[in-house]
Amino acid sequence: MKRFPSIKKNTDFVTVYRKGRSFSEGLFVMYAMKNGLSYNRIGISVSKKVGNSVVRHGIARKIREIFRLNDINMKTGYDIITVIRPAAREADYKNLNDTYCRLAGRHNIIIKADDNIEESK
C-alpha cells in the first residue's frame, strides 16, 4: 500500500505558513507553496475549537478524501495546508469539497479543462 502524501513535520508546516500564499473562506484557510517534488502533499490543521476528537478526525478524513479525489485535477509539486475553522463542524461533504476547489482555484493549482486540451495537442 502506497503511503498517503501528507505533511507531518512541524518545520514543514512553519515553512508553508511563512513562505506560502494563503486564501480563506468561511470553512477553512488554505496555504499553498511549491515544494519541488513530483507530487502534492497535504497538511491538515484542526484545533480543539472545532470540536472533540471524533468531530476533528471526521473533518480531517473528509478533507483528506477531497484532496485524494481532486489530485488528478491539480498541478503537481505543491504543499497544501488547510486550517479548518469551527464553521466546518456543520458543513457537509459537498460544501467542504466546493470550498476546497474554490480555494485551489484561487491559488491557480487547479488544471482547467482548457489546459488539458492544449496539453494533449
Tell me what pLDDT residue 20 has.
Answer: 92
The answer as to whether 23 is a domain residue is yes
Assess contact for 70 and 108: CB atoms under 8 A: no
Is 50 exceeded by the pLDDT of residue 117? Answer: no
Could you tell me the pTM of the whole model? 0.85
The answer as to whether 120 is a domain residue is no
Judged by DSSP in three states, 70 sits in: helix
The answer as to whether 55 is a domain residue is yes
What is the residue range of 85's domain?
Answer: 10-108
- pLDDT level of residue 1 (50, 70, 90 thresholds): very low
* Structural domains in the chain (count): 1
4-33 tens-digit pLDDT: 889 999 999 999 999 999 999 989 999 999
Alpha carbons 35 and 78: distance in angstroms, whole number:
5
Alpha carbons 8 and 26: distance in angstroms, whole number:
25
Alpha carbons 116 and 35: distance in angstroms, whole number:
22
Alpha carbons 84 and 42: distance in angstroms, whole number:
13
Mind giving me the DSSP string for 77-97? Answer: SEEEEEEE-GGGGG--HHHHH
Is 50 exceeded by the pLDDT of residue 118? Answer: no
Q: Give me the CATH number covering residue 14.
A: 3.30.230.10
